[in-house]
Structure 1
Amino acid sequence: MTITAGDLAERLSRFAVDTLEAAEHHHLSGWRIPRTFAGHLVGADVRADVCFTIHHLAAAGVTTLAGEPVDAVLSRLLAGIDGPSTHTFFSYRIAETLLHHGPFVGNPLLASLTDDEVEQVAVAVDSSDWLELLDAKVLPRNYAGVLSRCELGRVSLGLVTDTSRLDDLVARVGRVLGGNPRRALDDSNDRIGRYDIYTADVWLFTEPLASRLGPLWEDGLTRALDLVLAVGSRDGSAVPWGRSTGDLAAALTLELAALAVSQGHAGDNAAVWLRRGADAATTLMAGFDPDGI
């Protein structure tokens, strides 16, 4: 059967909506994030991830979830943010959710929030205090990309006017990504040769920085796509060894396929990437229970 990008996009969008609505019905009634789930504390990352997922659905044209406008759902979720507990990956996810609606000041998603709640959101998008951990080599080297994306979010929201920190971080990302002439990232701090899914993921992850990284990013993405085409599994896994295998590896294939096909990076392999994306979608869909978890 011929697979089209439109068919795959519609299939994924419908699945994401159905899964989120099932999760809301069974576990997140009224979009309230529980403090515990299955005996575990629920961190601030969950709220940020739910916001980010809904943000992408809104960008894809979804207007309602569980009978409510998506903007109303997002505003309610943002009102419950714990700023100091939201950091790194989750900082930029909140920032990019807001950016879809404009700058921070006057953002319609924040209109119904109290001043204290708005301040919590402002704190949530700021992960600049993690720079000292990166400098101390407590964090993997690819966190230069994470913190760059966080800072880019703050600059784009108008929360920061001085771009020197962002410029320094992007330069650091360039040194990390450009260190290997084959553009393969060893993200270990002691150069043990840790090459796995993040060797490809880092180029997808730094796509918002592409214009600042220049030709380096285009070269790295091309090599990452070639790598995944060479080593990807029939179940849709992008890189079947190392960290973040299983569903995460399938999710990476889907994201790479979307980027490759939609932005013209697939070359003569567009049909191959669509097939890989469809296989990955099948794997991912099988990983969720009917209650949305």
Structure 2
Amino acid sequence: MNIGDTVKTWQFKAHNKALATQKMEGQLVVIFPGYRMNPQTLFLTQRWLNHVTGADVVIAPNPDDSEAFSFGLNHVLPVQQFIKSYNASHIHIVGLSMGAVAAAQLAEKTEVDSLFLVAPMINFKSSLNAMYTKYSANSLLSWPMGWFLSAEDIEEVSELVLENANLTMASIDVQNKLAFSKASKINVFVSSNDDVVSGNFIDTPNQLGRKDVVVRRYNNLSHAEMLGLIDESLLADFLTDLTNIYVDTKDTSIIGKVCRDNAIECKID
């Protein structure tokens, strides 16, 4: 993954030895991806989570994986029905970026053990404006969502997208959905350096009217790094919260290593 002038690579090598975190057999983890997320990234995350936890891990369709764009909300009911038929002992929902909208919606309608939101898109208009600003500076509207970006009026464009999806801002209000969530615990992972959703989230969990929300903050991770979990601290925190078993950032047998510029010393034996 290219991060500015730095190349970051996540390396993980599966071993046959038992891991302390492999205690989730019979449990189900459902991941709602972000808009047009790289399938390879999702596949690697799925395989890694399955190996280090023992849980069954499934990936929901991308928010854009339908003819009529609806922020992924059209996938909530099918996933809800899938969960009911799966008969898992525990259910964990993960929402990445825009996937947070569908993830939070599902957790509002279904009792789940935990809800994890990574770099969640809390404010659509703010995220849309951030991406427009990021790419319009060099006339590169190459971001996948560039098809509805306009230099004329971001406010009008965002309202048009909602109108075409037959939705309102309230329909995709993740923060409000969290306030009424049926999840037993909620963990949110955000970065102040996120170039897409930075500053979107609540200042304190108490603003939701509930104190069981844990917000983990990082200072130097981009949106792409957050979604790819390309950071040892983020990987360790995510697994610790998911398994309720402490994971050390240096435990390469569980979280692997994040290598910078193909550093030789970063190789995993």
Question: Greater relative contact order (Cα 8 A, min sep 6): structure 1 or 2?
Answer: 2
Q: TM-score, normalised by structure 1?
A: 0.29
Q: TM-score, normalised by structure 2?
A: 0.31
User: Which has more helix, going by share of residues?
Assistant: 1
Say which one has the larger Rg.
Answer: 1
